[in-house]
Amino acid sequence: MSVGASTVQGRTRWIGTSWKMNKTLAEARDYASGLAAALRAEPGLAAGLQPFIIPPHTAIAATSRVLAGPQGEDDAGVVLGAQNAHWEESGAWTGEVSVPQVRDAGAQLVEIGHSERREHFGETVETTRWKVQAARRHGLRALLCIGEPGSVRDAGESAAYILDQARGALQGLSQEDLDGVLIAYEPIWAIGENGRPATVEELRKPFRALEAEFGETVEGILYGGSVNLDNAAELLGIDGVDGLFVGRTAWQLEGYLQLLRIAGRQGA
């Protein structure tokens, strides 16, 4: 576990963001430098929390170097992720990157199965399973994203849908491998620029189902979907939520730092 991680009710509380297809190298370095400086200047900022950030592939190595500090000896306590990685070790997969490659660049976690990858790049339950296995094989955490479309929610089948996604992706993993898996529940209807924030009542049943099936086996279960500074504390108060996976609100450093402060106060 990285420096600064601790537990809430026996589980680490994760607060993270994916930058998606945003930020140049200079912008990534500035964000990482500001984050590392804030965490070092305020030792209590991440108390009870595990911060994580997921840059685009082009910025993983540069971000890793900044977070390591000028001498490379002082880890800022931030887990660094990759937004995707192929399941094969190497080969003729033009445009892809492998788990060994993102690990070599400094990634400690791989995001897998985001709804945008499923919709636009044809990812399936089977390919998410291969990717989870590849990440764990190389000692990286797997952040498995699951979520249902609005039509499934309207039919009252959200819990069954996301359980099928998670079961399929995690099928066959040992408990040792599951110890390095995070699940991020991101309802498709609640994410993105046009997403509608979910209500607490809409989230209770899915999280009860996830907690009942995976709460004792995976490292944590997170929520993502129109998370902002106004609803973050309420979302963290839902039974079964071990943290937040945040989009636009955390793309600017001050927004991310505010989320850390909210999570810290809420868990105190």
pLDDT of residue 72: 61
Beta bridge partners of 244: 15, 223
d(CA 25, CA 17): 17
Question: In which band, very low, low, confident or very high, does the pLDDT at 2 lie, cut at 50, 70 and 90?
Answer: very low
| Whole-prediction pTM | 0.94
| Pairing outcome for strands 11-18 and 49-54 | parallel
CA–centroid distance for 171 within its chain: 20
Q: Which residues neighbour 165 within 8 Å (Cβ) at sequence distance 6 or greater? A: 113, 125, 128, 146, 147
Catalytic residue among 111, 123, 148, 186: 186
Q: In 3D, which of 9, 48, 39 has the Cα closest to residue 239?
A: 9
Each residue of 69-127: pLDDT tens digit? 766 655 689 999 999 999 999 999 999 999 999 999 999 999 999 999 999 999 999 99
Our CA angle for 43, 46, 47, nearest 5°, is: 80
Token pair recorded at residue 190: 């609640």
Q: Which residues neighbour 55 within 8 Å (Cβ) at sequence distance 6 or greater? A: 19, 23, 28, 63, 80, 81, 83
Token pair recorded at residue 12: 């680490």
pLDDT of residue 71: 60
Question: In which band, very low, low, confident or very high, does the pLDDT at 12 lie, cut at 50, 70 and 90?
Answer: confident
d(CA 253, CA 40): 15
pLDDT of residue 7: 41
Question: In which band, very low, low, confident or very high, does the pLDDT at 251 lie, cut at 50, 70 and 90?
Answer: very high
Residue 79, phi then psi, degrees to nearest 5: -80, 130
Is 11's pLDDT higher than 90?
no
Is 28's pLDDT higher than 60?
yes
86 is catalytic: no
114 is catalytic: yes
Catalytic residue among 114, 123, 148, 219: 114
d(CA 144, CA 128): 8
SS3 247: coil
pLDDT of residue 215: 97
Residue 243, amino acid: G
Token pair recorded at residue 125: 């339950």
